[in-house]
Structure 1
């Protein structure tokens, strides 16, 4: 059989490597010096590497190695500052009952946000209209099915490689504990290279939240939930409060039970240490309703969005993390001129805003430029979950879990049975879109 040519192209076509391969059973490093080989592969886009994983067993083994995935991710994270891997994950709800859901990736290019890909969520359950995005980290997106607000199922999804993991059943459910309210955090433990989901459940009155909440944490490395209710959180977190993940911690707006229900502090949970912390909100900011304010991440800093439903929305930024006196009002947004709600921020500090007309725009507070993104949501102002928008980094995380059920190369299919039981626990349910990437 004649030699086979195999090309690698980067997304910007600036890198091209040609292998003339006569024996696919050879190791990849047989063709290049090891350091050069690693340098080449870590520069390639995710889509190309997923295809390469289907070439043969040795390539699959190398590309699904956690060390390589981490190295590739680190290079991608550095590239974010150069706009080479600067993406925005957007979810929108439209239709009369906000029952039409779209997921898409936008790419930052020359100061503009351009369409990169329309995403399909690879879940067979048709009730994705009830899915809520908790957050994204290193290319993974955490979702919860919040039908009736009780969080029946949890998922981890990597849109870049079209894979999801269904988390094991929950300890606390409506059937086991009757009505409750819950909040969820998602993040990364850098010390153990592990992804974690923490769930905080406050049981409904008549105890008036006097009992400490039920707390469980899921670890991707073990594939199980653990009960950590012994931590005894003394604060109440607003129901389904949006999180802000930064500095290794998830953050939520909360209140002290002894302060008559005013939301006056920010509770944090560190994914590595697995301990709770607290930060005070800016002086003079207290909120009787947690729905009128929320925490967010603004250019790597903790921020507070104050006045979501008012005529003026203020964006506060904590300049020095953990220092209450460093809170600074970054800017105000006049929401009486057609802006309906603050959705989030881009990496550059642009504000994602929902309009009264139902469209999503990016607003630059420095130049006051408004960029229409051609993404439509619902015009129902009571649908607080019309849009979700957050910075996103493409990654290979979860690539080694399993190869696609359809369209995978035969060599990889043979090897997956030997590897699957070592890569992730049997309690996982992996699904993917049966499409060629």
Structure 2
């Protein structure tokens, strides 16, 4: 079928198609299957999608009497309004009713953690990969805390997951850290503990990926005084870096309870939480890596019931969490558009929220993980040729549970 079109024209056409249509195209013939699952095509499609796709936000809400029920969904920002786009089904079942913690996202991939097992999940294609066993665990090293980062090496077209572990020493957790990095291209972990920074990374603050690096809020020490800073890890050269915070919020005497790192319209940003006066200050780094370029963008003053800043959309919409006495489950989301301060209430109930800008992609489509991990809901791993395409066709025909209605026809 593709013989009537020049190869470059065919690629140009296919890279403009939505995810579900491309999955169906992979069912047409072996040559199209090979083309759509080719890493080069997946990267090209991602680049086109990033420039032309909808402004999507991935939402996770946790609810239930014992916080054991979880909903995942995508919201779309249309005309400065967030509306429903797709309900997502996570193809993982956990024991003890524990929900998986989101540890960051990159190019449509979401990193999940449960009981020290890590997964990569692409909601767009309903594919989940369990990463190989971790080197550092309770049985091998005793008590520890850890944090995770995910990112992309554009030079080698490879996705990486970095795990930073602090062991329990002298009644607390402290450096040096045990550090391992996973490469999707090889399917293996490597120990890079010798590269670790002399700082403590906040395990509860989610990392942010931008400009080729993962970023965490961290704590350093000068003499007896602690200070805040951002620690970065660059995926290409695998080197840690440091970015200083604005002087007014870096010191240990800062009145705010917490500082979070975030991404605001493709720029590194900070959410400075001042609980004493119920204010959230949003800072943006105008020139990446230049500490003097930190600029206080705007403040959000707490209204009745406002709990916290949850995240941002690609275009700068601020997603907030607030308490509502009229909701049976107590809390819902509020969208506050930063430029006009126009508010819109979203009917999403829960007690714990995650929100982050999301880009649909084909990443992991066609990935063969060998014996180093397992894959869930992956028709690509069922076999080659016609067998794989038949399984893929069944997946495409049953994809209504996660695809937007305007793509179902």
- Residue by residue over 1:250-301, the C-alpha shift from the partner in whole angstroms, topping out at 9 and shown as x without a partner, is 1111111445463421111101110000011111213659962211111111
Q: How far is 1:56 from its partner? A: 2.4
Query: What is the RMSD computed on CA atoms of the aligned residues?
Result: 2.6
Aligned pair 1:96/2:65, yes or no? yes
Matching residue of 1:194:
158
Matching residue of 1:326:
293
Distance 1:153 1:313 in 2: 34
Instruction: Report the CA distance shift for 1:284/1:180 in structure 2 as closer, same or farther (over 3 A).
Output: same
Is the Cα–Cα contact under 8 Å of residues 55 and 315 in structure 2 kept in the other structure? no
Match of 1:281 among 226, 245, 269: 245
- Helix, strand or coil at the partner of 1:370: strand
Distance 2:310 2:206 in 1: 11
Matching residue of 2:6:
33
- Compute the TM-score of the two structures, normalised by the length of structure 1: 0.81
Matching residue of 2:322:
355
The 5-angstrom pairing of residues 224-235 of structure 1 reads 224-235=188-199
Distance 1:75 1:111 in 2: 22
The 5-angstrom pairing of residues 357-436 of structure 1 reads 357=324, 358-378=331-351, 386-401=352-367, 412-414=385-387, 436=398
Q: How far is 1:323 from its partner? A: 1.1
Distance 1:175 1:411 in 2: 39
Is the Cα–Cα contact under 8 Å of residues 255 and 261 in structure 1 kept in the other structure? no
Q: How far is 1:229 from its partner? A: 0.3
The 5-angstrom pairing of residues 8-27 of structure 1 reads none
Distance 1:283 1:126 in 2: 45
Distance 2:146 2:154 in 1: 26
- Compute the TM-score of the two structures, normalised by the length of structure 2: 0.86
Matching residue of 2:117:
153
Is the Cα–Cα contact under 8 Å of residues 197 and 217 in structure 1 kept in the other structure? yes
Distance 2:43 2:216 in 1: 28
- Helix, strand or coil at the partner of 1:388: strand
Distance 1:29 1:60 in 2: 12
- Helix, strand or coil at the partner of 1:130: coil
5+ residue gaps, structure 1, are: 1-27, 379-385, 417-431
Matching residue of 2:76:
107
Distance 1:343 1:174 in 2: 31
- Residue by residue over 1:96-133, the C-alpha shift from the partner in whole angstroms, topping out at 9 and shown as x without a partner, is 22211000011222332221111011113345733111
Aligned pair 1:176/2:147, yes or no? no
Matching residue of 1:249:
213
Match of 2:105 among 132, 136, 149: 136
Q: How many matched pairs?
A: 379
Distance 1:285 1:242 in 2: 19
Distance 1:165 1:325 in 2: 41
Match of 1:304 among 270, 279, 291: 270
Distance 1:218 1:99 in 2: 29
Match of 2:310 among 333, 340, 343: 343
Distance 2:78 2:175 in 1: 51
